[in-house]
Amino acid sequence: MSWNNGGNSPWGNPRPPGGGGQGGGPWGGPPSGGPPGGGNNRGSGPGPDVEEMIRNAQAAVRRFLPRGSGGGKGIALAAVLLAGIWGASGFYRVQPDELGVVMRFGAFERTAPPGLNYRIPWPVESVTTPRVTRINRVDVGFRAGADAAPGARVIASRDVLAESLMLTGDENIIDVDFAVFWRIRDASDFLFNTRNPEDTVKSAAESVMREVIGRTHIQQALTEARAQIEQDVRRGLQAIMDQYHAGVEITQVQMQKSDPPAAVVESFRDVQRANADRERTRNEAESFRNDIIPRARGDAERMVQEAQGFRDAQIARARGEAGRFTAVLSAYSQARDITVRRIYLETMEEILKRNGMTLIDDRLQGIMPFLPLGEGARQTPATGQSRTTPPVPIPSTAVPQRGGSAR
């Protein structure tokens, strides 16, 4: 260097004051006649002794170096040691539930998987390890206790009416408390696209819930539509997060409470009880109607079927008799004598089958025993004896004048 005067130190020894045209410092002093204090016109006092400061730094470094080593070698060794420490500081570890996000000079560079990884040490690259598998929870309308586990339905420790009171589709007010469960889906979007992701999720969830409740009647919101409301809010909230590129995945929306406001809850319950009584009475009437109407219809159908069967039987019987008469007439036309005798015998058979037979001797007068030859002559199964009809009086006028006859 031009200002090195060959002293023991790398920068040389200071020149004596006033020696040469360069001045007293390593960078020279003020020219002749110049203002004292270094010639920078910033003050009238003397400037800082830079060489003294350098000598103090060199002495401090020598105290850490081993004895007997040269000054240049010691500085090189110290530089290598510091460089090794600086290079080793680039190793870092990512936990199994985390994801490493490496930034180079503050800008996103890459992501690192769980395990041992390396980056260019500070200040070139830095790393952030968000927990991407953790399920986070945001409460809207209430504030739960600190020990509330994710996924558990908890009782609100403090109700926030400014968040929970909402207007329904039929212009009623309802008090809704719900919780939103979310996790990090894209770590880079999560870190760089939203300033406060938790507040963003909370504000968007409240907005979507108010929109869904505004389309729902209060009776449905209190009873059967709770599951549908949770699904609609989750889908709407996920759409907003995707639009913001927030890197957040909504896993579940859970309604903790949906009740009328505390000021009118008793009156609302009275209305609900009246509606329940109305539904019960209506159901009883419906049950009675469903019982009596099918029964009456069944009876009517049975009567119609019976009448139809009777009509068909009468028609079939009439047609059979007409056919039989036609057949007899045809036979009579072909053989009248034989047909007349056959009809006579069949008719007498039918008549005699229904009446008993009695033999009478016309030579006797008055009352006489007779021999039954009809049903009265059959044995009874209980006694095994024949039944005998007691004699009946026969008037004399009924006896023919010629030989015995059967009647």
Token pair 């021999």: residue = 371
Q: Is residue 12 part of a domain?
A: no
pLDDT at residue 234 tops 90: yes
Q: If you average pLDDT over every residue of the chain, what do you get? A: 74
Q: Tell me: do 402 and 329 sit in the same domain.
A: no
Q: Is residue 140 part of a domain?
A: no
Q: Tell me: do 75 and 102 sit in the same domain.
A: no
Residue 251 binned pLDDT confidence (cut-offs 50, 70, 90):
very high
Predicted confidence at residue 42, as pLDDT, reads: 40
pTM of the model: 0.48
Q: Are 215 and 169 in contact (CB under 8 A)?
A: yes
Q: Tell me: do 158 and 255 sit in the same domain.
A: yes
Give long-range contacts, CB 8 A cutoff, 24+ apart: 360-366.
360/394, 360/399, 360/404, 360/405, 360/406, 360/407, 361/404, 362/399, 362/400, 362/401, 362/402, 362/403, 362/404, 362/405, 363/404, 365/396, 365/399, 366/393, 366/394, 366/396
- Give the three-class secondary structure for 343: helix
Q: Is residue 173 part of a domain?
A: yes
Report CA Rg, the chain: 62
Given 354, 371, 389, which residue is the final one in a domain?
354
Q: Tell me: do 347 and 366 sit in the same domain.
A: no
Q: Tell me: do 250 and 161 sit in the same domain.
A: yes
DSSP element (H, E) containing 104 = strand 100-104
Angle at 355 between CA 353 and CA 359, to 5 degrees: 110
Q: Is residue 169 part of a domain?
A: yes
Torsion, CA 309, CA 312, CA 313, CA 314, rounded to 10: 120
Q: Tell me: do 247 and 309 sit in the same domain.
A: no
Q: Tell me: do 214 and 303 sit in the same domain.
A: no
From the centroid of its chain, how far is CA 237?
A: 17
Token pair 């040269």: residue = 70
pLDDT at residue 8 tops 50: no
Q: Is residue 300 part of a domain?
A: yes
pLDDT tens column, 301-315: 999 999 999 999 999
Q: Tell me: do 350 and 362 sit in the same domain.
A: no
Residue 71 binned pLDDT confidence (cut-offs 50, 70, 90):
low
241: domain CATH number is 3.30.479.30
Q: Tell me: do 348 and 368 sit in the same domain.
A: no
293 burial (CB, 10 Å; 0-12 / 13-18 / 19+) is exposed
| Residues 20, 16: Cα–Cα separation, whole Å | 9
Q: Tell me: do 302 and 320 sit in the same domain.
A: yes
Q: Give the amino acid at 63.
A: R
Q: Tell me: do 122 and 217 sit in the same domain.
A: no
Given 68, 88, 108, which residue is the final one in a domain?
88
Q: How many domains does the chain have?
A: 5
Torsion, CA 71, CA 76, CA 77, CA 78, rounded to 10: 90
Q: Is residue 226 part of a domain?
A: yes
Q: Tell me: do 106 and 175 sit in the same domain.
A: no
What domain range is 63 assigned to?
54-88
Minimum mean pLDDT range among 111-125, 191-205, 294-308:
111-125
* pLDDT higher at 102 or 34: 102
Minimum mean pLDDT range among 33-47, 65-79, 140-154:
33-47
